[in-house]
Structure formats: structure tokens, C-alpha cells
Structure 1
């Protein structure tokens, strides 16, 4: 049974013999790097960078639901990108607009 499932994956139109498999597989690096940045201080988070990651994740998630062959690897990596991007944006927004820290007074 495991052999037949492995053979079905191998011969799938979005299987490991095609770019439809390898492109989303390597794209996981973006999501993993973004998740590794969760420990980064919010001051170092970039609005433009995280907006692009989040929005492209949403756009390509939608695209991956309408293309043929159906590619769940593409859908999952893009949902992951959208999730990590929106989480990073929420960290940055909370820090910039809702933090309780007082501004440092300059000495003149």
C-alpha cells in the first residue's frame, strides 16, 4: 500500500518530477526564514517587506486553488507565507502604535 501511494505521488502531475513540486518546496525557505525572525526585535521589522510576503501569500494561495494540476504544496506554503507575514506585521504595528513605552526626551 505504501508503495502504491509513493508511486502515485511520483507520477502525479505536480509530483517531484516537475517544477510544480520543486518551486513551492524551495519557497518554504521564505516561510522558515520569516518564522525564524519571530525572535527579532519589532524595531527591525520592515513594513514593505512583510507586506509583500503577506500579500503575495494571499494572492498565490488563491491562485493555487484554481490551477490544474491541484497543488496542495503550493497552497500550504503560500498560506504559511501569508500567516507569518501578517503575524510580523501585527508585531510591528503593536510595537509602533500600541506600546506603552514613553519617548526618550532629548537633552538640549
Structure 2
């Protein structure tokens, strides 16, 4: 196997978490976090990708090949921002920034400090 060989093609059902995701020009975009499928139709829907910017969704039509060593996207790295969709919900961002959530986080940090000092 050479460095450019991605191995044999595999099914999305055996795609493992942590498999690298590369652009069409070979730049690593991130790693597989989760595989999505439409269970009722038994169809591959896409993957969640852990990127330096956070978790992003890559839709099935934008995936050229799923292989043993990495997943290859259909677009070059320069266009990655246009194709990788942010998976964070606006509700989750609002709840995380609420006064109650901030207070709970501070209380947890305080408890951890007291636990560590015992």
C-alpha cells in the first residue's frame, strides 16, 4: 500500500469513528464522529465530522468514496466551508449561555476545587 492508497471501498455501516475525512485534493478536513442513515429506507444520509471549527455535517452526495483508511469528499479543501454544515443547534447555544447554565458551571468548578483540596 502506498500513502495515496485509501484501501478497499467499504460500506457506510462499517465506517468507524475516527476515520480521517479528506477533500478531493487530499487535505484532511477532520475525522468521522458519527454516521447517519435513514433507517426506514436503509439509505446512507451523511456523516458528522470533527473539525477544528467544531462538529460539521457532510451530506451523502458530497462524499465521493468511503474506504478503509479514509473518506474522500467531492470538493477541494478551499470549498470546505461551503459544504460542511454546522451541527450545533441555536437552542443549545442559547441554553449554554444562559445565566442558570453559567451558575451551574461555576458551582461545579467550586465543588471540584473543594474535592481536590480534601
TM over 0.5: no
More strand by share: 2
Q: More helix per residue: 1 or 2?
A: 1
Whose RCO is larger (CA < 8 A, sep 6+)? 1
